[in-house]
Amino acid sequence: MHSTLTEHARCLYGDEYRPTPECGLEHRERNFVEELTFADADSILAMLRELCPHIVDGRLPVWVRNLAYRLVLLQRPDEPTLMREAAESLWMHGPDWDDVAADLTRKADALETGEPVV
């Protein structure tokens, strides 16, 4: 068993900045997804920031990044900084998510100015 979500992700997907550790465990993506699904926001953010420190880098699949940000925002729905970070990640990965990214940015702006979030 891995001690952190970051360690599990590093073993499964690799790390652009550090060698992938040899841990001897059998890695199944479904086990990682289950761990990610029930991880707390701090663990998820630690993984994202360590494995993808500049948003455009890292070896985490785009769908894992999208899911990770979605799970963080479900746990912390009123944090404009996180909304903007998630929006930036979505914009980096294609036009399919531009409308969601724009909506996150609008919500972040509304939260910061005290307007109702729609």
Which residue blocks in 14-78 are alpha helix, DSSP H?
29-37, 41-51, 62-75
Residues 69-105 pLDDT 10s: 999 999 999 999 999 999 999 998 878 999 999 999 9
d(CA 115, CA 11): 43
Whether residue 82 sits in one domain with residue 50: no
Residues 30 and 66 in one domain: yes
Q: What is the pLDDT of residue 116?
A: 84
User: Quick one: 87 and 66 in the same domain?
Assistant: no
Q: Are residues 65 and 103 in the same domain?
A: no
Q: Structurally, how many domains does the chain consist of? A: 2
Do residues 6 and 21 both lie within one domain? yes
* DSSP 8-state symbol, 115: P
Separation of CA 95 from chain center: 18
Mean pLDDT of 58-68: 94
Quick: pLDDT tens for 17-40. Answer: 888 777 877 788 999 999 999 999
Phi, psi of 78 (to 5 degrees): -115, 30
Q: Would you state the pLDDT for residue 28?
A: 87
Asked whether the whole model's pTM tops 0.85, one would answer: yes
**Which pLDDT belongs to residue 26?**
78
- Same domain for 62 and 40, yes or no, is yes
Domain span including residue 2: 1-76
